[in-house]
């Protein structure tokens, strides 16, 4: 409740928040909380929660995300790129979803920025090839002070003082939501010292 009420980036939440024995009440609406490491143990049906957004970043494959269905969920949307789940981006290919698949991916935030832009340009002019650069705010996986990084040396630099080149799968993901662009786009990310907001630059 405290973290929702007072956010360092977005400011103070203006609504009413009450702490309940099993969750929160936000503006009069009860939100039930569960403390389960295994999604299969969450009784979604009890709360009539049939559409689940999987945002832990852990269960990003169809097989892992399907665990939510065992608890009573009917559909699962993974809020990250998935290695095998069908990927949909609103305004790009969402109308091709017919409801016949129980686990889908909504791709990444960068893909949701890039794909609509690429679609408009490709529909109007046809893209032969393109380079995407995202100027991306730092994330929770980065360091607050210099330290060792398992990924690479650059990843060990403090987030608030460095511009850090990094990889991104957004360009490749666009090929999954716009098949005719598969293999035509490449890209990179620059992690910059800002807490919020990112931008995508696309050169075709």
- Pair 162, 80 in one domain: no
- Judge whether 114 and 200 are in contact, CB under 8 Å: yes
- Pair 66, 44 in one domain: yes
Give the pairing of strands 6-7 and 164-166: unpaired
- Pair 101, 115 in one domain: no
Domain count, the chain: 3
The pLDDT value given to residue 151? 86
Q: Which of 72, 89, 106 is the last residue in one of the domains?
A: 106
Going from the C-alpha of 26 to that of each of 1, 17, 33, 173, the distances in angstroms are 9, 5, 13, 35
- Pair 120, 192 in one domain: yes
Give the pairing of strands 130-137 and 185-192: parallel
The pLDDT value given to residue 147? 96
Mean pLDDT by 10 residues, the chain (204 residues): 95 96 95 94 94 96 97 96 96 96 96 97 97 96 94 94 94 94 96 96 97
* Structure confidence by residue, pLDDT tens digits, 70-128: 999 999 999 999 999 999 999 999 999 999 999 999 999 999 999 999 999 999 999 99
Q: ∠ at Cα 58 (180, 101), nearest 5°?
A: 50
Q: Which of 106, 139, 159 is the last residue in one of the domains?
A: 106
- Pair 101, 161 in one domain: no
- Can you tell me the distance from the alpha carbon of 126 to that of 92, in angstroms, rounded to the nearest whole number? 15
The pLDDT value given to residue 124? 97
- Pair 192, 125 in one domain: yes
Q: Which of 73, 91, 106 is the last residue in one of the domains?
A: 106
Pick the catalytic residue: 49, 109, 121, 160?
109
Helices (H), ranges, the chain = 2-5, 62-65, 67-70, 109-125, 170-177
- Pair 6, 61 in one domain: no
Please say if 113 is a catalytic residue.
Answer: no
Going from the C-alpha of 1 to that of each of 9, 49, 52, 80, 174, the distances in angstroms are 16, 21, 21, 25, 37
Expressed as residue numbers, the domain containing 172 is 109-203
- Pair 143, 180 in one domain: yes
- Pair 20, 40 in one domain: no
- Pair 170, 99 in one domain: no
What proportions of the chain, in percent to the nearest 5, are helix, strand and coil?
25, 25, 45
- Pair 26, 1 in one domain: yes
Phi, psi of 183 (to 5 degrees): 85, 0
The DSSP result for 14-73, as a single string, is -S-EEEETTEEEETTEEEE----SSGGG--GGGGT--EEEE-SSS--SHHHHTHHHHTT-
- Pair 64, 95 in one domain: yes
CATH number, domain of 160, equals 3.30.360.10
CATH number, domain of 40, equals 3.40.50.720
């Amino acid at each position: 409740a405290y973290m929702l009420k007072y956010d360092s980036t977005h400011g103070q939440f203006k609504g009413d928040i009450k702490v309940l024995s099993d969750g929160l009440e936000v503006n009069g609406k009860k939100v039930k909380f569960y403390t389960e490491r295994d999604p299969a143990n969450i009784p979604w049906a009890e709360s009539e929660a049939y559409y689940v957004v999987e945002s832990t970043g852990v269960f990003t494959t169809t097989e892992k995300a399907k665990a939510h269905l065992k608890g009573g969920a009917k559909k699962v949307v993974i809020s990250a790129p998935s290695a095998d789940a069908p990927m949909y981006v609103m305004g790009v290919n969402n109308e091709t979803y017919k409801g016949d698949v129980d686990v889908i991916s909504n791709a990444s935030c960068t893909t949701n920025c890039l794909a609509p832009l690429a679609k408009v340009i490709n529909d109007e002019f046809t893209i032969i090839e393109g380079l995407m650069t995202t100027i991306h705010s730092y994330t929770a996986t980065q360091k607050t002070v210099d330290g060792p990084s398992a990924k690479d040396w650059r990843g060990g630099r403090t987030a608030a003082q460095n511009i850090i080149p990094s990889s991104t799968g957004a360009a490749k993901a666009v090929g999954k939501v716009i098949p005719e662009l598969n293999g035509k786009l490449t890209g990179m990310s620059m992690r910059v010292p800002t807490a919020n907001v990112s931008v995508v630059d696309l050169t075709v």
